[in-house]
Amino acid sequence: QNEKNNLEIQQRDISAMYYRNNARIRAIPRQERVYSDIKRQQNIKEELFLYLLQKKEEKYMNMASVEPNTKLVDNIRLLGAVSPNRRMIGLLFFALGLVIPVACIKIKDLLRYQVSDKEELEELTPVPVLGEIPQVSHSEHIVIRENNNDNFSEMMRLLRANLLFVIDSKEKKVINMLSSISGDGKTFVTINMAMSLALLDKKVLIV
């Protein structure tokens, strides 16, 4: 039985290492995404500026080419509104429509005080992330069971494997569960982690 449990632990350790490496490969640095957004907005502004500059030069060239001595040949006809320039206003609103959403997203991201995913947490702190636990809607405190293969149980086993890998010394026997506010699920995670360790014939005491 112990040999079987050891083989299962080794298999889960290999799976944990695979998932960690796979997550690192899929992770895209946030700085690269921010740089791409800024570069795209800069290109839009440059194109708009060049267009306005070209129109300004065409206007001055047309004004310079008009002969000073002219005479009225035909009667004045109203061809439509000259001002405001609808095309210019349309381009301006189009540019604002591209810039404002990106600016709002950036401001919202700066004002956000929560961590959205594992990759962001790894960027903010040097502390290693051992696992991710999904939120469950079970009314029972003990969810993990022997031979239970649901998503929560698999994530708890992965967390357990990483935890045992980190705690490689026999002197490290105390695990402290902490959170920023009450109701985060410390008791729920503690009970199920204790049950997960107990399934490996580990002696666990919850205080």
Amino acid at 39: K
Residue 27's pLDDT band (boundaries 50, 70, 90)? Answer: low
Contacts 24+ apart (CB under 8 A), 9-16: 9/161, 9/164, 9/200, 12/157, 12/158, 12/160, 12/161, 13/161, 13/165, 15/158, 15/161, 16/131, 16/158, 16/161, 16/162, 16/165
Range 60-65 average pLDDT: 77
**Mean pLDDT for the chain?**
77
Spatial neighbors of 161 by CB under 8 A, at least 6 apart, are 9, 12, 13, 15, 16
How far apart are the C-alpha atoms of 139 and 28, rounded to whole Å? 37
Higher pLDDT, 38 or 64: 38
Q: pTM of the prediction?
A: 0.43
Residue 86's pLDDT band (boundaries 50, 70, 90)? Answer: confident
Cis peptide before 101 (omega within 30 of 0): no
Residue 107's pLDDT band (boundaries 50, 70, 90)? Answer: confident
- Residue spans of the domains in the chain: they are 1-66+84-129, 133-207
Q: What proportion of the chain, given as a percentage, has pLDDT over 70?
A: 74
